[in-house]
Structure 1
Amino acid sequence: MKPGETNPERLWTRTRRAAYAEITDIAMRLFLSQGFDATTIDEIASASGISRRSFFRYFGTKEDIVLSDLVREGEEARRALEERPESEPPWTALRNVVLSVSGPSHDHERRLKVTKMMYETPSLRSRCFEKHLQWQEQIVPEVRRRLAGEHAVEQWPDVRARSLVASAIACLDIAGEAWARADGDVPLGELLEAAFDAVGRTREP
């Protein structure tokens, strides 16, 4: 590329990201002010100054707007798990990773409102479950690798790896729901610790 020239692909990417962020922000404001189910895709498109057809170029469903961060958090969890010390048992490593990706938010009130909306809306709960299954597929290979390094040879390493990851995600889901029911008055980290402790005690040899 010659000096002074603009890369069309890079410009297109920046433009798309900016539009994606703007539509997300507008949609979330509508969801939180009038309710998820009461907000239509046509309303979101109109408020964003785009057509309904253009909306579907950015989002597959209305639910994806609310849960888009879950995909990014799944990638963060995978990378964080890979960076945990090899000396940590798989369950301990998973615990530390979940605690890290669920740390304090800079906007506590907004996070609480979004969390409540998710747990009160069946379609969001269902879509969240699908996203968490994606987490499982991302994280299981690293847990399986760590299990292979343990002194005991596992007869069914994939079954145990998937069980550990599914249990960790269940702890996250249960703690999140409890945090929402408590109106955020109890720290999410404290609820996560309680959930992981409960499961950890039942799996101690």
Structure 2
Amino acid sequence: MSEAVTKPEGLRERNRRQTLQHIAEVGIELFLAKGYDATTLDEIAAAAGISRRTFFYYFKSKDDILLAHLAGYDDELKASVLEHDSAGSPIDVVREAMLDVAARFETSRLMAIIRLIRQSEALSASRYGNNLRREQVVYETLCEIWPARERRDRLRLVAMVSIGTLRLAVDTWIEHGRKRKLTTYVQDAFANLKAEI
């Protein structure tokens, strides 16, 4: 049986990916400097060295820039769940993955992005969708590790509860002014969850 061969990324695909990443990074920096609502598409395009038309080739709106940035966190979460597949039960696997991701992304920049999302009415409304997407990422990854169909409902429940636990940890971390590390809040939230089930 031969293994699937991954086709190398072509020049066109690489250039497109790099341009998309560049525009997204420029957009994030402008959002952090000026605020999301105060930053215009024209300013993003000018700072990225592209036309407005080119901007719309890559993104539909300013929201998509932030969503593209947040999608990177989803990719990290999926990879981390797969890396911790031997941590025990599904809830333990997800807890260890989230602790790992929280440790890697515990930066002042991430904190500024979280504040940016919470301050913007448009972006706050998208938080629910982001949490659903993250829940789906965790669920699908758990199904890769435990593919038996009869476990799917339980794995979905683990994904739902885990994302809720992460949300609680992040909210508490922010409310407490980041006095302790985010990983401490994630650890505490999962300990509280396990104590109640």
Output the TM-score relative to the length of structure 2.
Answer: 0.79
1:182 pairs, out of 168, 176, 183, with 176
1:35 partner amino acid: G
Q: Match of 2:163? A: 169
Once the two structures are TM-superposed, the CA of residue 141 in structure 1 deviates from its matched residue by: 4.0
Once residues 135 and 168 of structure 2 are traced to their aligned partners in structure 1, the CA distance between those partners, rounded to angstroms, is 16
1:88 partner amino acid: G
Aligned length: 188
Once residues 60 and 68 of structure 2 are traced to their aligned partners in structure 1, the CA distance between those partners, rounded to angstroms, is 11
- Residue identity (%): 28
Q: How does 1:55-204 map to 2 (within 5 A)?
A: 55-86=55-86, 88-105=88-105, 108-144=107-143, 146=146, 157-203=151-197
- Which runs of no fewer than 5 residues in structure 2 stay unpaired? 1-8
Task: Out of 26-35 and 73-82, give the one that drifted further.
Answer: 73-82
Compared with structure 1, are the counterparts of its residues 81 and 30 closer, same or farther at alpha carbon in structure 2 (3 Å cutoff)? closer
**Whose Rg is larger?**
1
Once the two structures are TM-superposed, the CA of residue 184 in structure 1 deviates from its matched residue by: 2.8
Q: Which runs of 4+ in 1 moved over 6 A?
A: none
Task: Out of 56-65 and 186-195, give the one that drifted further.
Answer: 56-65
1:140-196 deviation line (CA, Å, top 9, x unaligned): 2453564959xxxx7xx4332222101111122222233233343321001111111
Once residues 13 and 147 of structure 2 are traced to their aligned partners in structure 1, the CA distance between those partners, rounded to angstroms, is 40
Note if contact 1:147-1:161 (Cα within 8 Å) is conserved in structure 2: no
* CA RMSD between the two structures: 2.7
2:157 partner amino acid: S
2:116 partner amino acid: M
Once the two structures are TM-superposed, the CA of residue 90 in structure 1 deviates from its matched residue by: 1.2
Output the TM-score relative to the length of structure 1.
Answer: 0.76
